């Protein structure tokens, strides 16, 4: 397994990380546990979850699965997106974050989180309040490092500036939608992260499965796929996205690999990327995606993929989660 520094911190994470959004939803307890153990056995140490995944079930399952193996995992969770409809049910206020961290620790059955991430920018809470709260969490030992997610570039840069000015711990990473189907981070976020030493953690690296080639205009929606089990995902099945998936599949056939392995290998080679989150509902999916670590793209292959996806550098992000 290849390990990379998360940003310019001393934390080392596996180049492929395990995404757990499906745990407790599209993968039951037993399947999820098998996937976690298989990931650890293969050297994957970065496990990413959130307090809202599968209505908190993801954290609960991970907590059970890591019993006796907690020291092998770099455990990351998040807070900030809506948990309930109460006055403090969302956001990044001190009240909400302290409440959610304690609940996450109980579900995860651990005393600390390796990476605590703000799930999205909160326009209703001063950044100073959020960052001071996170600094206190690190001082308490309940959190080791902090990260952002779904922040605009200017929001992230402002947070880094405040942390430096106030002497608080700073964000070492940011999660963003990033793939061949979403290259919008390259316009501003990637250059800023390279300059500031912030590691990028792409989510939706396979555009929710579109870049695996499973969706095309002829075959329809495969049984058991994300679009089949989650009808809201169909909003992503736009003609230009599906066409890109078909083109990537054609290139993968030329190169002698699968489209998912090719897409992940391309993303692993991008500047500032520290670890790429890949989800799985079966251990076979996880093992297949690990092949991306052994696929070395030539400059010509990278150029071809860059040209193929050039239009996806512009326009709207593939996915973006924000508070209303």
Which positions are catalytic? 53
Return contacts of 190-198, CB within 8 angstroms, 24+ apart.
190/270, 190/271, 190/272, 192/153, 192/156, 192/157, 193/7, 193/272, 194/271, 194/272, 196/157, 196/160, 197/7, 197/8, 197/172, 198/7, 198/8, 198/156, 198/160, 198/171, 198/172, 198/173, 198/174, 198/272
Q: Which two tokens stand for residue 296?
A: 């070395």
Q: How many angstroms separate the first and last alpha carbons of the chain?
A: 40
Is residue 75 within 8 Å of 115, Cβ to Cβ?
Answer: yes
Whole-number Å distance between alpha carbons of 123 and 40 = 37
In the block, residue with structure tokens 């699965």: 65
Q: Strand runs (DSSP E) across the chain, as ranges? A: 3-5, 12-14, 16-19, 46-48, 74-79, 113-118, 143-149, 173-177, 199-203, 276-279
């Amino acid at each position: 397994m290849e390990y990379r520094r998360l940003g310019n911190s001393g934390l080392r994470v596996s180049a492929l990380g395990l995404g757990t959004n499906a745990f407790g939803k599209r993968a039951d307890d037993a399947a999820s546990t098998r996937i976690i153990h298989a990931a650890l056995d293969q050297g994957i140490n970065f496990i990413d979850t959130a307090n809202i995944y599968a209505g908190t079930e993801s954290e609960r399952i991970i907590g059970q699965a890591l019993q006796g193996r907690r020291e092998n995992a770099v455990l990351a969770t998040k807070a900030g997106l809506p948990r309930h409809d109460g006055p403090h049910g969302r956001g990044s206020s001190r009240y909400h974050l302290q409440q959610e961290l304690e609940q996450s620790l109980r579900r995860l059955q651990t005393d600390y989180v390796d990476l605590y991430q703000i799930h999205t920018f909160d326009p209703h809470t001063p950044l100073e309040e959020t960052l001071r709260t996170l600094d206190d969490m690190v001082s308490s030992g309940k959190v080791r490092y902090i990260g952002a997610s779904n922040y605009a570039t200017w929001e992230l840069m402002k947070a880094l500036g405040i942390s430096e000015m106030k002497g608080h711990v700073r964000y070492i990473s940011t999660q963003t939608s990033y793939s061949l189907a979403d290259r919008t981070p390259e316009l501003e976020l990637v250059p800023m992260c390279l300059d500031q030493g912030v590691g990028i953690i792409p989510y939706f690296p396979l555009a929710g499965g579109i870049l695996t080639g499973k969706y095309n205009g002829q075959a329809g929606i495969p049984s058991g796929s994300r679009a089949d089990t989650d009808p809201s995902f169909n909003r992503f099945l736009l003609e230009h996205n599906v066409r890109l998936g078909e083109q990537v599949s054609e290139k993968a056939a030329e190169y002698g690999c699968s489209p998912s392995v090719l897409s992940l290998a391309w993303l692993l080679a991008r500047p500032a990327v520290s670890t790429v989150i890949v989800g799985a509902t079966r251990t076979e999916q996880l093992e297949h995606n690990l092949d991306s670590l052994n696929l070395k793209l030539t400059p010509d292959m990278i150029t071809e993929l860059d040209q193929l996806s050039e239009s996806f550098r512009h326009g709207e992000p593939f996915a973006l989660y924000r508070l209303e």
